[in-house]
Structure 1
Amino acid sequence: MMNGKQLNVSSLISVVIPCFNDGQFVEQAVYSALNQTYPNIEVIVVDDGSNSETKQVLKILELKITRLITQENQGQSKARNIGIKEAKGEYILVLDSDDFSEPTFCEKAMHILTSDMDTKIVSCYANLILENGITTRFEPQGGSIKDFLFFNQSLGTSMFKKEDWAFCGGYDETMRNGFEDWEFFIRLLKNGGTAKVIKEPLYNYRKRLSSTTSIANKNKYELLNYILLKHKELYINNYELTIMHLLNKAEREEKEKIKNNERLEFKIGRTILIPIRWVKSLLK
């Protein structure tokens, strides 16, 4: 019970966990799904061509979960789509195998999804766990399609309806280098609806150098080009917002460049002046 309202728990949530070589972390991900306070949950793990060490861990976990699906390595989007296709739940939560959710996320997300028909995505704040052990906070803002045009305003691990996933065509399986969450959310929201964010850190995300997000940042402009061209009509229909965004971005980069040049010129000037001042001191 939340906010005095009884939550109907008859609807099934399917938690889909794609896994590729995450034997070290996948057990924590699975148990974070199994230990949700929302009682009506199935857990589906998709082994996307993992190594033998990970397969051993998954074999043990298979006894605890609803289903283990094994496939050759075909990428995260394909693994997610296969898991969701096999899911029996009306609601879907995609969970990365190296991350974990707090126990109340599903219950709180369901309260929002079932009480507001305009909501298509429910996300939350996240704890970013860096490889050096430092933890920072990530706070996505959610919103409508206009808020998602230039930035992803939701976590990849968000809850949505299976029928909405099917209607918009699922995850783009050609996107194997990142940003597939953002592109999927664009299609999910382009015909209306909003993304809501629970303002609590109910998700724990390991930010690793080998993560999909890190790989995406290395291919950032190639991926942006793909998304902008794929949704060309959407950006044309929001022409003024697109131009403003591009001009603001160019202005910020120019100011940063000037600042860096001034900083460099100061350092060079100081380096040159030091020996001159030293010589002057000797002549006094």
Structure 2
Amino acid sequence: MKNPLVSIIIPCFNVTEFIEESVQSALNQDYSNIEIIIVDDGSTEDVHSVVKQFLTESVSFFKKENGGLASARNFGIDKSNGELILPLDSDDKIHETYVSKAVNIFTQRSEVSLVYSKAALFGAEKGEWKMGDYSFKHLLLDNMIFCSAIFKKEKFLNVGKYNEKFRFGREDWDLWLRYLDEESIVIKIPEELFFYRKHSGNSMSDQFSNALENNVNLFDLFYFNRKLYARHFDNPITQLHRNKELEIKYQKLQLKYLSLKKSFYERLKEKIKSFIK
């Protein structure tokens, strides 16, 4: 992989007040071999009028019927020509060296599957976006890779793209579970090169974040990847029994502790009484 074309996919559903910053951060890259694909996922706002100033041979715009974030990303990737893919939500930004540093890693190490970086919050909240370090074992329990990681298009297509049934988020976590495995090489650049906007309104990826829908997402994540989870964890019934056994043991230990504590204070009181006498 030498001087690979990198396709930056920017899906958008309204939120047009931020997309210029997002596109500009992509254009500001110090790596020149990039294309930018903006996908309007059925917005009610006039996205084209906002982004038309950026459109060139290497910056294209498409409009499609609303299908959700996963659908918009898949659409953009299908239109792309790059060997490497970088999804970028329309209210987020990337540092000007993010692509070049990632490409340098892919170029030097052909076995690498995915590259991402440290991240920072901006907008309503500022500071480091603290996410745990990657391991596939930990990835089964929590997602520590943000959506704007850089990955190989060929492998992405081979694992079946984003699952468009995830209409309420978690689509990136689901992808990583299929795209990666225990042997995958994942590199985290130790610099803040991705910037995630926090604001009072809803970002494209946050718009379905209430508790009920999150629970549905987690169930779907488990269900669609149940064979993977079955290889690493007990079946749910066995796990429930073990949890119940641990709960009973904890209750017994708690009672024993309270009994010992009471006994200790009783003995202490007796000693104090005898000393006073």
Shorter-chain TM range is 0.7 to 0.9
For 1:51-130, list aligned pairs within 5 A. 51-63=44-56, 65-130=58-123
Deviation string for 1:30-68 (max 9, x for gaps)?
A: 111111011111111111112334332023332485211
Residue 110 of structure 1: how far off its partner (Å)? 1.2
| Runs of at least 5 residues in structure 2 that lack an aligned partner in the other structure | 251-277
Aligned to 2:221: 227
CA RMSD of aligned residues (A): 2.6
Q: Which piece of structure 1 moves more, 58-67 or 172-181?
A: 58-67
Structure 1 SS opposite 2:86:
strand
Structure 2 SS opposite 1:25:
helix
Instruction: Tell me if 1:44 matches 2:67.
Output: no
Cα distance in 2 for partners of 1:220, 1:43 equals 31
Cα distance in 2 for partners of 1:217, 1:194 equals 33
Cα distance in 2 for partners of 1:129, 1:226 equals 30
State the TM-score, normalizing by the size of structure 2.
0.79
For the pair shown, which has the larger CA radius of gyration, 1 or 2? 2
Residue 9 of structure 1: how far off its partner (Å)? 5.7
Letter in 2 for 1:156: C
Deviation string for 1:248-276 (max 9, x for gaps)?
A: xx98xx9xxxxxxxxxxxxxxxxxxxxxx
Contact 2:12 2:39 (C-alpha < 8 Å) held by counterparts? yes
Contact 2:43 2:66 (C-alpha < 8 Å) held by counterparts? yes
| Runs of at least 5 residues in structure 1 that lack an aligned partner in the other structure | 1-7, 255-284
Cα distance in 2 for partners of 1:214, 1:70 equals 20
Cα distance in 2 for partners of 1:9, 1:67 equals 24
Aligned to 1:260: none
Structure 1 SS opposite 2:17:
coil
State the TM-score, normalizing by the size of structure 1.
0.77
Structure 1 SS opposite 2:131:
coil
Higher relative contact order (CA 8 A, sep 6+): 2
Aligned to 1:210: 202
Count of residues in Structure 1 that have an aligned counterpart in Structure 2: 240
Structure 1 SS opposite 2:115:
strand
Paired-residue identity, %: 34
Cα distance in 1 for partners of 2:128, 2:182 equals 31
Letter in 2 for 1:229: Y
Cα distance in 1 for partners of 2:94, 2:76 equals 18
